[in-house]
Each structure stands twice: as structure tokens, then as C-alpha cells.
Amino acid sequence: MFTHLFSKGRIGTLELKNRVVMSPMGNYLANADGSVSEADIAFYTARAKGGVGLIFTECMIVDYRRGKGNTHQIAAADDRFIAGLERLADSVHAHDARIIGQIYHPGRQGVSAINENLPMLAPSVTECGVVHQPTAAMTTAEVEDMVGKFAAAALRLKKAGLDGVEVHGAHGYLVNEFLSPYTNRRDDRYGGSFDNRLRFLAEIVEAIRRACGPDFPLVVRLSVDEFVEGQPSLKLEDGVRIAQELEKLGVDAIDVSAGIYETMSVAWEPTSYGEGWKLYLSEAVKKAVKVPVIGVAAIRDPAFADKVLEEGKLDFVGSARQHFADPEWANKAKEGRIDDIRRCISCLFCMETLISADFTHLPCRCAINIEAGREIRYGDMPEDGDGRVVAVIGGGPAGLEAARILARRKFRPVIFEKQDRLGGQLLLAEVPPGKEKIGWLLDWLVHQVEAAGVEVRLGEEATVESLAALKPYAVLVAAGSEPFLPPNLKRSDITVTATDVLSGQAKIADSKVAVIGSGMTGIETAELLANGGNEVTVFEMADAIGPGLYFQNLLDIMAHLKTHDVDFYAGHRLVGIDGRQAVFEQRDTGETRTFDFDRYVLSLGNRPTPVPMEHLTGAFDRVFLLGDAAKPGRIRNALETGYQTAFQL
């Protein structure tokens, strides 16, 4: 099965057991001084155990004074870091995987506050439109010094026993900035012409070769298209030409990616992007060079991965987030356990947590894999349930995840689900356009509880009597949530909730529709309605649309809504609805405005489904609230409370 995916490969002198690559990904697990932590080792080792042929580390610091990307990032900027890197390499090698260290400098995309409050080094004084940090144009001497820092870092990787080095020349970081006319406006030998803009990277490659010798595998990652519109920037033809020049310089492989921070969603795709959407980039490079090409394109399905290898679109299939979501992806694929693969749903929760890590001081987290980044804490699953019964009220994500972990611990979970299907809020979350991947998670959870032999009672509402008959060791309440409605608003033929629309209970077509509330559910419902031919207007009480939403997801869906000419009114508080008329108060002026619509869709948040807790706590010793039943939230909240409660029981 998947003969191409699991065929041997080679990058320079490095032999690899398969074509499965874990691409670089920040995790915020390193020690604060830049040394490799035990959590780092556990994280990468789990992926090595999972069958990956080649692991690329997160981007490592080469300039500890002015080149940090965050405060918990592995560094290769000094010899004191070699010992930790050696332990990391040894641990990965013990599981027949290989590891290449990626080195970089953040350039203008770094943050001054964690770099001695100094301006960020860049080829030219150009502010990044995302991080908005002060920049300083590097002097020629500083550029030459930085070349040496890259080479010195590569040599440390070699001394530590890593299997190669990758220079990060993608995603808008310093090397990419020199390559691109968008960010390089120099007039010395490092700017201007194509050859001059290439010079910094070329000198890094040559310096690494001098330091590490011809046999130490050297890979360069490129954004072969920056996807910047309306200004001079790197286009695909430029990226291909750079790859060809790197091949002439003796680089052993090209790692193809795309985008910079200002076009972030082509580098780290939201869920609406299809699997394999940017394979044309790696295919173009592969046609132009003879060295191996690694490509990424939101690839989740091993059958798809095998197919694109067979078609010659790339030589190695890279993914970061998929191996974050399921470190056993490769093993499961090789063994044919496709239904057991927990496919990444591209929700970008990992990116959201990584970007905020310097404020939360928490490692990067995955919405659907609670163990990711916490391999030490959850590494040893106790099997001490002894067949004791645990009743789980509700078959949504929290209840299913709890049942899955309870079964692993050898408890006997019994799920009560009053509906005729498992899934809870996931059944609604997968309905909006581009959210089909939520169905992958639901299918996986259901498969896990079925494969574990968990007893599921569909269409049965739990009662104290039915629970007592089980003599449960514990009762886990995961009854979910329901739409919140203010006292002055009631459902009617004209006024419905987003839940009514998503469930199909409310049918709306060819109508003028107001959606009240622009949280994720609200704007996704707005897109669904707009796709259905309705004229949609979104109202939001807060001062901006999508309050609290991760910006990549918000920008993605707003772009879709723009194509449907959806109107938006922020800063408008709903006062009341009377028939087809609604009154809104403008929060900045206090004035009221009246609007007329055919239908109103309320998306004002959720509240826990009422549960007679006093009866449950009076009848059973151990009663726990999970997921939305405790506090309505996101998928991660539901899964995490389910996992942790079951793990700690």
C-alpha cells in the first residue's frame, strides 16, 4: 500500500526510509535560554516513533542578540547549544528517522521587544504590515557578518550529529527579504539586480559548504511565489530561477513553499483551502531542477500523497500541521489504518496559539490533538479503569473524546445521546462552506469509540434512574449548549437562530436577511445564506466585525463574503424586532435606526443546555461537567475538558 510514499529516498548523502517529511514548525517548547528542552525532545521523538522519514526542526536562531523569533525557540547561535542538539538528534535516530535543523533570522518580521528593543535587521527600512516593528537597514559589514553566523550555526548542527541543515529562505524572513524586490531596496552589491538580491543567500550556501564540507546535506526552503499583488515581488518564475541557481551552487534539495507574513494564508492555509492546492509550485520547480523537491500543500490523505508522488509533482511530501495533529500518521498509513488517522482540519488554532505564545507563555497547541506539545505529561496513559462504568451524558466532541480516553484507560464508558446521531455541535460546524474538514474530526471520533467497543445509546436521554442502573463510578455531563436568546427576543417564522439555519430546520432562500452577531458562527452562517442566493447584512454590537476571531480565519471568510456583496454594520446593538422591522442603536452616537428584512438570524452565542445538576450530584459521588455544558467554547475547549477529565479520573 502506498508504494511511492514508502519508497526510499535520498537528499545528497542522506538516505531516507520513506518520502514522508515533517516540515518545520514552531512549537514554543525550547528552554528560555534557547537550549533544547526535554519537552522538545519528547515532541520530535513522538514524530520519529510515528514513522516519519525526515524531520525538519523549527527554525533555529543564528543571532541570539538580534535574531530571536520568540522567547522559547531553539538556538544554534553558540557552542553551548550543541549538547542539547546532540541529545535531540540521538533520540530521533533511535527510531530510524533523520533530522535536519532549519536555521534562520526573522528579519523585519521579528519583534523588537524580545531583541533588546533594537530595530529589527532587514535589507532595507521596510516595515512588515503584520508585526509593525521598527527596522534598520543592515550595513554591508553586518550582512557579511550574518553570513558567518549562518555558517557557524550549520557547523554546530553537524557537530551535534544532525543529518543536515536547511536555510530558511521563505515566508518573508531575512533571507527571503534579500531575495525579494518587495523588501530589498538596497543599492549595494546585495540589492538591485536579481544576482545581487541572490548574493546573500548564495554566500550563505558557499560559507556553509566551506564550514561543513560537501557531504553535509544542505537544503534551502523558498517561497517561490510571495503572492504579493500590485508591487514588485517574487513570482513563480523568479522562484524557479532562484531554485536553478541554488542547484548550480550545490544545494542538495529545494523545499518549496509560498507567501510572507502579509500573505500568510498561502503559507499556512485556513480550512477553506483544498488539499494539494499549491502543488503546481513544487511541480514547476521539479521540472526545472534535478535535485529532489520537497513540497507542502495541505496534504492530509496518504492516498493523495502517494498519487502526487507517482505523478512526479514532488519527491518528498511535507507537512507540519498534519504531524502535529497525528504524530502516527506515517505508521497508520503504512499499516493501512486510514480511518485511524486524525487528519488536520486546518483550523489554524496552532498558529493562533504560537503567535500569542509570548503573551500566554504556553506552548503551541493543537485544537484536535490534546497531547501535542505535552508528550511528557500525557506520554504514559494509565490503564487502571478495571472495567468500571463511567456514564457520559452527550455524544458531542467533549463526550466522545472523554469516552475515547476512558476506553484507553480500560474503563467501560457508556454514552447517552438524546439525538439519533453522534456529533453534537460538530454536526453544525461542518455545514458552512469550506468547513467540510470538521467532518473529518467527527468521523474520526466516532470511529475511535466504535473501534473501542464503547456502548452508545442513541435516542436515549439520561435520567437519574437509567444512570443509577449502571452503578457508575462517575458521571460525565457533556450535554452541550443551546443558542442564547435575550428575554425580549423569541423564535418566529421571521426570526430564527443560526443553529436553526445550520441544522436545516429553518429554510431561507431568495430573501433579504439580517444576521445578528459576527462571531465565527454568525459570519459562517452569513456565508452559507449568501451562497444560497440571499441578500445578507451582518450586524455586530462590537466596534469591529468578528471580535475575538483569529485574524487569518476572519480575513479568509471576509474575502468570501465580499464576493457576495454582504453588508456590515459594526457598533450596532439590536434593540428589538417587530415583525419585519428591527431597531438598532448606534453605540457611538446613541441614535437608533430602523431596518426592514424578510428574515432575521440570531447568532448571539450559546449557553449550557440545562441539566438537573442538583439531582445528579445528590445521586452520584463523582459528577463532572465537560465542554459546552461547563462553558460554551471552541472545539479545543470541548476536547480538552473531555480528555483531561478522563485522563485524571
- Residue 548: CB atoms within 10 A of its CB come to 9
- 183 closest CA partner among 140, 232, 230: 232
> For residues 404 and 646, what is the distance between their CA atoms, to the nearest angstrom?
9
**Which region holds residue 544: left if phi is over 0, alpha if psi is between -120 and 50, else beta?**
beta
Report the SS3 class of residue 306: helix
Q: State the Cα–Cα distance between residues 128 and 107, nearest whole angstrom.
A: 10
Q: Which amino acid is at 345?
A: I
Task: Using CA atoms of 356, 358, 360, 363 in order, give the dihedral in degrees to the nearest 10.
Answer: 80
In this structure, the strands spanning 412-417 and 98-104 are: unpaired
Range list of β-strands (E), 357-396 = 389-393
Angle at which helix 520-531 crosses helix 551-563, to 10 degrees, equals: 20
Residue 256 in contact with residue 314, Cβ under 8 Å?
yes
Judged on CB neighbours under 10 Å (0-12, 13-18, 19+), 311 is exposed
Distances (CA, A) of 495 to 63, 541, 567, 583: 59, 18, 19, 14
Amino acid of residue 176: N
Which H helix or E strand runs over 415?
strand 412-417
Strands of 258-326 (E only): list them.
Answer: 293-296, 316-319
Helices 194-212 & 140-159 angle (0-180, nearest 10): 40
Residues in the chain: 649
φ and ψ at residue 571, rounded to 5 degrees: 70, 25
Would you say 109 and 261 are in contact if contact means Cβ atoms under 8 Å apart? yes
H or E, element range at 454: none
DSSP characters for 310-323? Answer: HTTS-SEEEESHHH
Alpha carbons 608 and 483: distance in angstroms, whole number = 9
Q: How far apart are CA 274 and CA 257, in angstroms?
A: 16
DSSP 138: P
Q: What is d(CA 12, CA 564) in angstroms, rounded to the nearest whole number?
A: 50
| In contact, 401 and 643? CB cutoff 8 Å | yes
CA-nearest of 107, 111, 88, 83 to 98 is: 88
Centre a 10 Å sphere on the Cβ of residue 195 and count the other Cβ atoms it contains: 10
Q: Which residues are catalytic?
A: 173
